């Protein structure tokens, strides 16, 4: 697919970022949402994102040239009828995704790849309502999709190798770094590792070992500074697998092994302390020192800096 026709189902936070990534990569993209108002708003947000990316030197084309490759369509069946590659990025509800893929399967060409951006739902189950499950694959983009290079490409039980190979190729061509998940396990790679960390971090706070601020400081300033260039298994090799084995013998039995959210999490949810959406979670986002807009801007600035450095090093 040197130049594919791409359809993105869902124009929310992930959908618009995914659509933008493909448009920057030179593909014609049709953004799909039942609500035309949401589609129009998403295009406006895409233009705002492009302004920031151009100021940072991350796009070589004008915003008008890139957005000229993006069209809006409220009818998903019409949108996918001539598409080569479809990415679904709707709400994480299995029944809704199954029904969506049933319709996409019926409306698309028989060689169209149908991908789901799910981060946790089984690809096998999502594909179960289709007549061609061999062409259904997972493509878990990370937020924000236009700046994060990694994409997990997930096999369902009936996904064929050609579908995965073609998906990896098209993602690499738009500058992504795909990682193949060979078994359809809950949470794939990244979410499993992330939630293992969230579980232990929550336990440390709940047990009074450290404050949220100090836990996050260690993750960002000790673990995070190395994890940008070294994965956990590279770190294991560098430390020595024998040392890892010896530490694990004593440490693993002390780690949190909760099989459901801890009491502190349940209490926060019950009290409406949902994080930035409510203004308070582990941190006070209303009257405290945390400001959501500033944190997100700092995140994006950090990601842009990384991308600029990588592009400079590759020249």
Q: pTM of the entire structure? A: 0.93
* Residue 200 to residue 215: CA distance in whole angstroms: 10
Spatial CA neighbour of 45 closest among 193, 126, 145, 135: 145
166-203 confidence digits (pLDDT tens): 999 999 999 999 999 999 999 999 999 999 999 999 99
67-118 confidence digits (pLDDT tens): 999 999 999 999 999 999 999 999 999 999 999 999 999 999 999 999 999 9
Low-confidence stretches of the chain (pLDDT beneath 50): none
* Burial of 184 (C-beta count, 10 Å sphere; 0-12/13-18/19+): buried
Triad 88, 90, 93: Cα angle to 5°: 115
The three-class DSSP label of residue 70 is strand
All structural domains of the chain: 5-181 (3.40.50.720)
């Amino acid at each position: 697919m040197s130049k594919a026709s791409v359809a993105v189902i869902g124009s929310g936070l992930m959908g618009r970022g995914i659509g933008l990534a493909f448009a920057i990569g030179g593909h014609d993209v049709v953004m799909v949402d039942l609500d035309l108002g949401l589609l129009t708003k998403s295009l406006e947000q895409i233009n705002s994102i492009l302004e920031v990316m151009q100021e940072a030197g991350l796009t070589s084309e004008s915003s008008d040239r890139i957005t000229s490759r993006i069209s809006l369509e409220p009818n998903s069946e019409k949108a996918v009828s001539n598409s080569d590659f479809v990415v679904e990025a709707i709400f994480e509800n299995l029944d809704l995704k199954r029904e969506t893929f049933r319709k996409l399967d019926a409306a698309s060409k028989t060689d169209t790849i149908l991908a789901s951006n799910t981060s946790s739902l089984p690809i096998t189950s999502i594909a179960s309502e289709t007549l061609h499950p061999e062409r259904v694959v997972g493509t878990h983009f990370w937020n924000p999709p236009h700046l994060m290079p990694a994409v997990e490409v997930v096999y369902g039980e009936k996904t064929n190798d050609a579908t995965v190979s073609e998906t990896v190729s098209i993602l690499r061509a738009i500058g992504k770094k795909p990682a193949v998940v060979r078994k359809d396990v809950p949470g794939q790679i990244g979410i499993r590792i992330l939630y293992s960390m969230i579980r232990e971090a929550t336990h440390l706070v709940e047990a009074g070992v450290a404050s949220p601020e100090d836990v996050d400081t260690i993750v960002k300033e000790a673990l995070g500074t190395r994890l940008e260039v070294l994965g956990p298994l590279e770190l294991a090799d560098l430390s020595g697998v024998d040392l890892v084995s010896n530490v694990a013998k004593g440490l693993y039995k002390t780690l949190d092994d909760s099989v459901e959210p801890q009491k502190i999490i349940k209490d926060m949810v019950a009290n409406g302390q949902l994080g930035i959406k409510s203004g308070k979670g582990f941190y006070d986002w209303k009257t405290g020192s945390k400001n959501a807009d500033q944190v997100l801007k700092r995140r994006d600035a950090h990601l842009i800096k990384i991308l600029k450095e990588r592009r400079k090093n590759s020249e």
